[in-house]
Amino acid sequence: MSCKKNTENSAETLQTASQNTIEYAQGFTLKTYNSYTILSVTNAWPESDKTFNYLLLKEGQTVPDSIQVDAVIHVPIQSIVVTSTTHIPALELLGVEQSLVGFPNLDYISSEKTRALIDSGAITELGQNESINTEKAIDLDPDVVVSFGVEGENKTLSSLQRARIPVLYNGDWTEHQPLGQAEWIKFFAALYDKEREADSIFKHIETRYTDLKEKALAAKDKPTVLSGAMFKDVWYLPKGDSWAAQLVADANAAYLYADTEGTGSEALSVESVLDKSQTAAFWIAPNAFASYEALAEANDVYTQFDSYKNKSIYSFAKAKGATGGMLYYELAPSRPDWVLEDLIGIFHPELKQAGKPHFFFPLD
């Protein structure tokens, strides 16, 4: 069904809407009416100018004639296909990982719980996300497929829609705020009729995050921080409005590129990075490098940074799943409190709590 601008107005003429509490996420909304819920994704990809409206219908209810939406989903769903590892933690936190029946490139999944399901044959390999094996997906006949867009709609999914399989866009990765990304658990909870559980889970994460942020303010200093590394002689690092930059700020440290605008990656010459960041106290997330030796072998310029000389470089590259997937890419967006805890322990060791890091470890 096509998306119409008058979707919400039509619904409001029939029933009274209750706006569900979305406090941080900017990319989706939930409006609950007497007999159905409208899930709207307003930022499926960066600079998207299209809103996708999905009607969530419980058993025994009917769709009002005046409503036109992109898909109708009967909830609670019993089976799902997701296409990003960032979707996996939400399913596990809600206790519905058994409903996952298919995923593109299973080796990317790191979670031990979901890997056990893969090993048992419960989850089908669906190829690559951009060219997902739609024939296999149609054979699975899931209640819903959750995808994402990079620069627009994924045209390969149209065959699923023609087979009357609802396709939903998830834009969790476009969020600017760490807690905004984590709040997308409510997107999945609406599909399983588990809104109360999601509210409780998110509240716990939010409380931990805000407590840790407050704790970081007690630190005596605010160290300077560099991030990223080179790819083909170009240094890529998070821009100042990004999720990663916000985490450094909330850990009470001074990200040296906080003044760059945008949420993606900044591409810089190595000369400019060396000029500005050679004396940075810490260097985090140097791509997939896990040792000082590997850095030096890749490019001798890395050895000129003080953080290299002082052994103050920290990477998430060593936290991997059994098949090589990066745990950070999968789990960090859902648990920003764990990321913040790691960063505070790195930047302010005097404030560090007992326990090993979740993601960031010192380079070997």
Q: Please give the pLDDT value at position 15.
A: 55
Q: Please give the pLDDT value at position 311.
A: 98
Cβ neighbors of 72 (< 8 A, separation 6 or more) are 1, 54, 55, 57, 63, 166
> Which single residue is written with the structure tokens 């989903």?
73
Q: Please give the pLDDT value at position 358.
A: 96
Q: Please give the pLDDT value at position 61.
A: 87
First CA to last CA distance, the chain:
54
Average pLDDT, 10 consecutive residues per value, the chain (364 residues): 43 56 94 92 88 93 86 96 96 98 96 97 88 92 92 79 94 93 98 96 98 96 97 95 95 97 92 98 95 96 98 96 94 97 96 87 96
Q: Whole-angstrom Cα distance, residue 355 to residue 364? A: 19
Cα 146 to the center of its chain, rounded Å: 13
**Do the beta carbons of residue 166 and residue 157 sit within 8 Å?**
no
Cβ neighbors of 255 (< 8 A, separation 6 or more) are 225, 227, 238, 240, 245, 248, 249
Q: Please give the pLDDT value at position 119.
A: 97
